[in-house]
Amino acid sequence: MEQNLQQTYTGAGESLLARHRVLRNTYLLLALSMIPTVLGAWTGLQVNFSFFAGSPFIGFMVFLAIAFGFFYAIEKTKNSGLGVVVLLGFTFFMGLMLSRLLGHILGFQNGTSLIMTAFGGTATIFAVMASVATVSKRDFSGMGKWLFAGMLIILLAMVANIFLQLPALQMTISVIAIAIFSAYILYDVQRVLNGGETNYISATLAIYLDLYNVFVHLLSLLGIMGGERD
């Protein structure tokens, strides 16, 4: 019986170490992914990159097609070093997509300040949510289906606003999106800690998308509410 208990405690300890190893590797890869994102955004600003110049709806569909192509490739390669390369390629692409919003915000007199505020706000949200996920005894796994439903609603609202172009609707979308993707950070970090996600590449992709969406919608909201024209 003592031997069985010892094996149980040893197995639990090894499992806990494995989960923290996945989380550590996730955070390291997440930090690394910021480099191609910044490079992609800088490149996009230099070449005035945009999928949305001609037809915003078609551009949005092309973006989704490429993004889901990356998701498929990352899923297929996540157990090899190639998965890291594909993920970093995806973050470069997302940097390109971010450049249009950044260019718009930089058109404001206080554009640089708005970008830094959005970055600081995103970092703060991540720190708070990751800390809660780490120390809380509460199980947040039940939020998954509600968060997914909320994300689909946001996606439909964004498609609708491509045609409507309503600032009030954009503000509403951004506020709700910030709340949902902030909660997703909590959900995704705890999934790693609880052993629900054991692959650090998949975990990095999930948390990267959470952070990206928080930043984009926070920046969009700041631009609408606080942008100052020359």
Q: Are 230 and 50 in contact (CB under 8 A)?
A: no
Q: Is 142 a residue whose pLDDT tops 80?
A: yes
Amino acid 52: pLDDT: 67
* pLDDT confidence bin for 1, thresholds 50/70/90: low
Amino acid 20: pLDDT: 82
* pLDDT confidence bin for 166, thresholds 50/70/90: confident
Q: Is 14 a residue whose pLDDT tops 60?
A: no
Q: Is 47 a residue whose pLDDT tops 50?
A: yes
Q: State mean pLDDT over 48-66.
A: 81
Amino acid 92: pLDDT: 97
Q: Are 172 and 224 in contact (CB under 8 A)?
A: no
* pLDDT confidence bin for 5, thresholds 50/70/90: very low
pTM of the model: 0.90
Amino acid 60: pLDDT: 84
Q: Is 75 a residue whose pLDDT tops 80?
A: yes
User: Is the alpha carbon torsion for 128, 131, 135, 140 positive or negative?
Assistant: positive
Q: State mean pLDDT over 72-101.
A: 95
Instruction: Among 28-42, 75-89, 156-170, 193-207, name the one with the lowest average pLDDT.
Output: 156-170
Q: Is 206 a residue whose pLDDT tops 90?
A: yes
Start-to-end C-alpha separation, the chain: 77
Q: State mean pLDDT over 89-95.
A: 97
Q: State mean pLDDT over 23-40.
A: 96
Q: Which two tokens stand for residue 192?
A: 């790693």
Instruction: Among 49-58, 76-85, 110-119, name the one with the lowest average pLDDT.
Output: 49-58
